[in-house]
């Protein structure tokens, strides 16, 4: 197993290694280039999950899902 990490550059829309663009323009690290290529999809999935998590959403109660 390699210790290499991969990042998704939001500025260029590309997968990069550790020596890529500055941290403010990257998402990651990810264990594989394939996972890094899905960075925007992964971020959207996590955001949706957090938006519907009552522990992270002041407007929702445990018995009441958030409104979309």
Tell me what pLDDT residue 53 has. 82
Half-sphere exposure of 2 (CA within 13 A, CB side): 9
14: helix, strand or coil: strand
Question: What does the pLDDT look like over 1-34, one tens digit per residue?
Answer: 568 999 999 999 999 999 999 999 999 999 999 9
Beta bridge partners of 14: 9
């Amino acid at each position: 197993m390699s210790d290499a990490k991969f990042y998704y550059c939001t500025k260029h829309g590309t997968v990069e290694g550790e020596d890529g663009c500055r941290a403010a323009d990257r998402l990651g690290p990810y264990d594989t280039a394939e996972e890094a290529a899905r960075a925007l999809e992964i971020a959207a999935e996590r955001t949706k999950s957090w938006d519907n998590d009552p522990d992270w959403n002041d407007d929702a109660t445990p018995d009441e899902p958030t409104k979309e």
